[in-house]
């Protein structure tokens, strides 16, 4: 089974990808993780990626595709994969279709977690983080027992920069600009299923599993 999962920052895509991978017994792959693994392993591809990143440039579609296809050929992907946020461009989507066709495989599902941006920004703005324990709280949905302090360590809670409304709005705007053409690519081919990403984690996961059965 090969599934693509799309979702903006803060929609819980990473959580759902991990849950789905565990449920199906197949790996969840993100390009970020693949970049880091290739660089750490010092593979020829990893060296190329490192040079591009260190130069401050964007990794080209061609290099991203080569990295992904190299990973898809690994034994642990034999039963399928969850592609977390890849493809990011229409060119990557077309290349993936061609690669799958060449390997006599098919893309089973493309799922987008849809969010209410204003509600998501408000939800992220209430998040509080404990730097030492790494625990995450929310002032409304998961408040600490003592306001402003971690239940486990007693350390002061902070709001991370990437949870600030202005930063969240910017990341959502960037995501929308980057992925809307890819979403349109799959939607035009009636291969896209849209799920409410604002629901509870358990409900979103149930909706994903239901979508996979169609």
pLDDT tens per residue, range 109-124: 999 999 999 988 988 8
pLDDT of residue 125: 87
Domain ranges (residues) in the chain: 2-115+179-212
pLDDT greater than 90 at residue 83: yes
Could you give the CA distance from residue 14 to residue 128 in angstroms, rounded to a whole number? 19
Percent of the chain at pLDDT > 90 equals 62
Confidence of residue 108 (pLDDT cuts 50, 70, 90): very high
Which CATH class name applies to 2-115+179-212? Answer: alpha beta
Bridge partners (DSSP) of residue 127 are: 138
Confidence at residue 43, expressed as pLDDT on a 0 to 100 scale: 86
Whether pLDDT at 31 is above 90: no
Per-residue pLDDT of 167-189, as tens digits, reads 889 889 988 888 899 999 999 99
36-49 pLDDT per residue, tens: 888 898 888 889 88
Rounded-to-integer distance, Cα 33 and Cα 56, Å = 18
The distance between the two most distant Cα atoms of the chain, rounded to a whole number of Å, is 58
Interstrand relation of 109-114 and 2-6 (parallel, antiparallel or unpaired):
parallel
What is this structure's pTM? 0.83
What amino acid positions are annotated as catalytic residues?
13, 88, 127, 160, 171
Per-residue pLDDT tens digits for 191-209: 999 999 999 889 999 999 9
pLDDT at site 35: 86
Q: What was the pLDDT predicted at 36?
A: 86
CA 140 from centroid of its chain's CA atoms = 25
Q: Give the C-alpha separation, 80 to 27, whole Å.
A: 7
Cα–Cα distance measured from residue 62 to residue 68, given in angstroms and rounded to the nearest whole number: 10
pLDDT digits (tens, 9 = 90+) for 41-76: 888 888 988 898 888 777 899 999 999 999 999 999
């Amino acid at each position: 089974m090969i599934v693509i999962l799309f979702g903006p920052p803060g929609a819980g895509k990473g959580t759902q990808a991990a849950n789905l991978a565990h449920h199906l017994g197949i790996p969840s792959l993100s390009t970020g993780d693949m970049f880091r693994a290739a660089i750490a392993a010092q593979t020829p591809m990893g060296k190329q990626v490192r040079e591009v990143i260190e130069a401050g440039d964007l990794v080209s579609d061609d290099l991203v595709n080569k990295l992904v296809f190299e990973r898809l050929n690994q034994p642990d992907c034999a039963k399928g994969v969850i592609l977390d946020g890849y493809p990011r461009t229409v060119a990557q989507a077309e290349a993936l279709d061609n690669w799958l066709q060449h390997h006599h495989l098919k893309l089973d599902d493309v799922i987008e977690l849809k969010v209410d941006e204003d509600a998501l920004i408000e939800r992220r703005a209430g998040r509080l983080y404990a730097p030492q324990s790494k625990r995450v709280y929310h002032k409304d949905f998961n408040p600490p027992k003592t306001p402003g302090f971690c239940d486990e360590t007693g350390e002061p809670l902070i709001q991370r920069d990437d949870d600030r409304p202005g930063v969240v709005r910017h990341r959502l705007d960037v995501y929308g600009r980057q992925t809307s053409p890819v979403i349109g690519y799959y939607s035009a081919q009636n291969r896209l299923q849209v799920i409410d990403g604002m629901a509870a984690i358990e409900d979103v996961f149930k909706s994903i599993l239901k979508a996979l059965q169609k």
